[in-house]
């Protein structure tokens, strides 16, 4: 199937999206464009002009592990859906000494989809006060394996089941409505986990932040073996749990009838466990 690449603005109808997510995508894109331009207007460095744009690519869902790694300055947001298609929207922000130069810089940023590998490529920063960033917003089949890695940017994944390895060095990490075998790490940033349904489906979850708060949201009646802890930070429990073992600031407990292990920890930050 040939690749379809097109530039989009927030008001363009995204015909490739399912109806329920089309409006959400339009709203998210409109908000991003608005925020990007507002931040540019009030930025500390008014010597530079900013250009913001969104591009879209639509391809047949690839086989194998979908990989998004090596993003220098930009985040990754992945959402699962019930289609045998992958849609990649790239949010590009370019800064230069003039509006024309910023647009020209953005035009040199490319979204490369090579089989199951997705990345954003562009020119190296130079001494002419030019810089760019690109974030990927990806919709793909719910049953997908993922490998995601960023240097400076948020990572969020929702409504996906599969084998996942997720990492960001500097940025928040958000996990929502996942299943399968999931390993997730952030070095500097908050970690947010939102469980859904009545149990963890799959092998389990292993998530960690080194420097940042950890929040786990659990629905009532959820069954899993929960292991959570903090090395340097307080613990807040928003509902009573029967703790099988509690050593210092580590909690080990069976929620409901137990099941797969949901493990999450922070080294330097508070731990909050609450009801959804």
For each successive 10 residues of the chain (276 residues), what is the average pLDDT?
40 44 70 84 67 96 93 91 97 93 95 96 79 96 98 96 97 98 98 98 98 97 95 89 63 93 98 94
Same domain, 136 and 44: yes
* Distance set, CA 240 to CA 220, 237, 248, 273 (Å): 11, 7, 18, 10
Same domain, 5 and 104: yes
Same domain, 134 and 225: no
Is 155 inside a domain boundary? no
Q: Round to whole Å and give the CA distance between 37 and 31.
A: 10
Same domain, 109 and 30: yes
DSSP label of 143: B
User: Which are the contacts of 49, defined by CB distance < 8 A and separation ≥ 6?
Assistant: 40, 95, 96, 97, 98, 99, 101, 102
What domain count does the chain have?
2
Is 240 inside a domain boundary? yes
Instruction: Specify the length of the chain in residues.
Output: 276
* Helices and strands per DSSP (H, E), number in the chain: 2, 22
pLDDT of residue 5: 40
Q: Round to whole Å and give the CA distance between 110 and 120.
A: 6
Residue 92, φ and ψ in degrees, nearest 5: -110, 135
pLDDT of residue 12: 37
- The pair of three-digit structure tokens given for residue 45, joined into one six-digit string: 């460095």
Decide which of 120, 140, 160 is a domain's last residue.
140
Same domain, 35 and 122: yes
Is 154 inside a domain boundary? no
Same domain, 94 and 194: no
- The pair of three-digit structure tokens given for residue 241, joined into one six-digit string: 């749990």
Structural domain that includes position 134: 1-64+73-140
Is 263 inside a domain boundary? yes
pTM for the model stands at 0.87
Q: Round to whole Å and give the CA distance between 186 and 209.
A: 5
Residue 250, Ramachandran bin (φ over 0: left; ψ between -120 and 50: alpha; else beta): beta
Q: Round to whole Å and give the CA distance between 257 and 272.
A: 22
Place of tokens 């928003």: 238
Is 163 inside a domain boundary? no
Same domain, 133 and 176: no
Is 118 inside a domain boundary? yes
Q: Round to whole Å and give the CA distance between 67 and 84.
A: 17
Residue 162, φ and ψ in degrees, nearest 5: 165, -165
Cβ-based burial of 254 (10 A; exposed 0-12, middle 13-18, buried ≥19): middle
Same domain, 120 and 30: yes
* Distance set, CA 16 to CA 12, 37, 49, 58, 210 (Å): 11, 26, 32, 8, 39
Same domain, 79 and 177: no
Q: Round to whole Å and give the CA distance between 120 and 139.
A: 16
Same domain, 189 and 114: no
Is 201 inside a domain boundary? yes
Is 191 inside a domain boundary? yes
Place of tokens 């954003």: 120
């Amino acid at each position: 199937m040939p690749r379809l690449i097109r530039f989009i603005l927030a008001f363009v109808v995204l015909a490739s999206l399912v109806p329920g997510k089309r409006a959400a995508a339009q709203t998210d894109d409109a908000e991003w464009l608005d925020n990007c331009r507002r931040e540019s207007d009030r930025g500390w460095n008014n010597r530079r002009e900013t250009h913001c744009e969104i591009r879209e690519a639509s391809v047949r869902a690839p086989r194998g592990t979908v990989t998004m790694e090596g993003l220098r300055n930009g985040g990754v947001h992945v959402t699962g859906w019930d289609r045998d298609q992958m849609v990649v929207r790239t949010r590009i922000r370019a800064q230069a000494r003039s509006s024309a130069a910023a647009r020209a810089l953005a035009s040199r940023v490319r979204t490369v989809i090579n089989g199951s590998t997705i990345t954003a490529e562009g020119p190296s920063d130079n001494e002419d006060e030019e810089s760019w960033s690109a974030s990927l917003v990806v919709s793909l089949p719910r049953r997908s394996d993922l490998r995601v890695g960023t240097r400076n940017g948020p990572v969020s994944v929702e409504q996906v089941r599969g084998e996942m390895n997720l990492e960001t060095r500097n940025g928040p990490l958000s996990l929502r409505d996942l299943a399968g075998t999931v390993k997730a790490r952030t070095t500097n940033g908050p970690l947010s986990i939102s469980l859904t349904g009545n149990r963890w489906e799959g092998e389990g979850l292993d998530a960690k932040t080194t420097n940042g708060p950890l929040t786990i949201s659990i629905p009532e009646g959820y069954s899993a073996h929960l292991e959570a802890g903090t090395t340097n930070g307080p613990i807040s429990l928003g509902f009573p749990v029967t703790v099988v073992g509690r050593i210092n600031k580590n909690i080990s407990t069976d929620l409901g009838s137990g099941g797969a292990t949901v493990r999450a920890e922070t080294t330097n930050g508070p731990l909050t466990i609450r009801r959804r």
